């Protein structure tokens, strides 16, 4: 009987280890995290408008990703053979993002 409890304990521990990373890891991006704060107003710019601005700044292979509550469009593009993240500010300024 003692061996049965030990086996059960090992099984429960193994199950807990398998589940724990999902419980304590980073939360996935969901629609709930994309909700804007009160008072933030989303402007009428579209992904197509942002894409054209990025292409006009000399980037190619533009793929738009999302628009933030700050009205900045985020996407991916290439320039000079390098692939990078890019952003378009509400002012129309195109800038590389990240490192």
On whether the pTM is more than 0.75, the answer is no
pLDDT of residue 34: 55
CB of 50 closer than 8 Å to CB of 88: yes
Domain count, the chain: 1
- Tokens standing for 81? 């053979």
Q: How far apart are CA 14 and CA 19, in angstroms?
A: 9
pLDDT of residue 80: 94
pLDDT tens digit string along 20-62? 444 454 444 444 445 788 888 889 999 999 999 999 999 999 9
pLDDT tens digit string along 62-83? 999 999 999 999 999 999 999 9
Q: In sequence order, what are the residues at sequence separation of 6 or more whose Cβ sits closer than 8 angstroms to the Cβ of residue 77?
A: 54, 59, 60, 61, 62, 63, 83, 84, 86
What are φ and ψ of residue 84, in 5° steps? -155, 165
Owning domain of residue 9: 2-96
């Amino acid at each position: 009987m003692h061996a049965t409890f030990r086996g059960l304990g090992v099984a429960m521990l193994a199950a807990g280890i398998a589940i724990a990373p999902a419980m304590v890891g980073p939360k996935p991006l969901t629609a709930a995290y994309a909700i804007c704060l009160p008072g933030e107003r989303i402007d009428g710019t579209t992904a197509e408008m942002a894409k054209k601005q990025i292409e006009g700044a000399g980037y190619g292979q533009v793929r738009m990703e999302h628009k933030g509550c700050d009205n900045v469009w985020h996407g991916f593009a290439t320039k000079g053979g390098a692939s990078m993240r890019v952003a378009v500010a509400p002012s129309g300024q195109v800038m590389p993002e990240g490192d």
